[in-house]
A and B are shown apart, each in its own frame.
Chain A
């Protein structure tokens, strides 16, 4: 195997890692508060406001309904505003995050809703404020589920990042399309696929291990 191909794959792996990691972090930073809001504003939540909860849910679903490739193009002006350019790895992080935030929000919402409401009542009755309930009950109790959901989000991001090649973001998926699909270089494509499989398997294994470590039942 040529040195060139190895360099290409190493660079692409690094680009994918950066894109997935950065947009993953942003997905949690944006998605978790959204999920908490959606749960808290439910009729039986910490600050009930069902109309707002429904509106928020609708916005989240609209974002999730837009195909990623379309989102990528629609967001070009926004990306240019934030990053300064609409091309490259850094530029891809903007649409990737915006797709991942509502995705993770919905997944996190499920985990947060699964927390026993009696625990929330127990801490309310102890004199816990809303913030204490979020910090000491909702997040820690939902944590194994949140970690599992985050793992799924990272893997979905890995898949989506292949399309980010369309804006010159690079990464493994982009490499596979350009060399494998467009230039019929089966060797590179197979290698990339193997790397992707390992990449995804490592994320899933790490996620499972962490989630199990946090689960105490």
Chain B
């Protein structure tokens, strides 16, 4: 794996990724310098660029997490935003209301998310196809309504949690966008490694077997209950980590960020890149994450375009932009 990782191409890519904030802030300086000499350059500011990229990275993390259930085990999850919500509110409430450290809140959020994943998974283990999709959808909608309406639980109307503090690392507050950028990069890197290692292990092969034919997998001795539960828990934990990051990045969160369409947005990314592939999830989330931020001012057009993308991809390239190779 190491040999494959350190080819010249990947090293250049890694370097570019790591040096991105430097380039962004550098271009800011150049724009400033030219502006003082009367030349106006229309380049987006480093803050904006970094924000777009951080959100895209967050979506990559979420897409990787979602991909585990529909991509690896073949069960359509329409309620992934539910775990994102659980993570966001766990971390947000622990930090803003109880003053806990982010470094404790983050793993707790992941564990809490995984618990919900198991909880949701338990009654749905026997369900397949459409019925599973509907239960996941109803589950996330219920969580959304609870957070939106239960003020005693959240402490604010419409699920408002204000002033979530920045993570504190050895006395440094990590609030600047470049710090957030490296922060999400590290989380994303860990997620990629975890998902990659899982996919190329006994577990990943069991998942693939379940996806291809549940009954055949069971008759080959794969414990459906265990492997499906594991998929739900890992997927949910990654979603919750994303939520925890989102909470401290946004500083203020409200229920509106966790609506049903967010689940579809993430699904759209996974489907665009190719269900069941790590590269596909990253590519799809990269494209749609950036596009989503750029199209944000256009409101309605955004989701209209996402809808059309879903339809076109299913019609003309159902395996996604990066079609998966046959597993050996």
A joins B in a complex: no
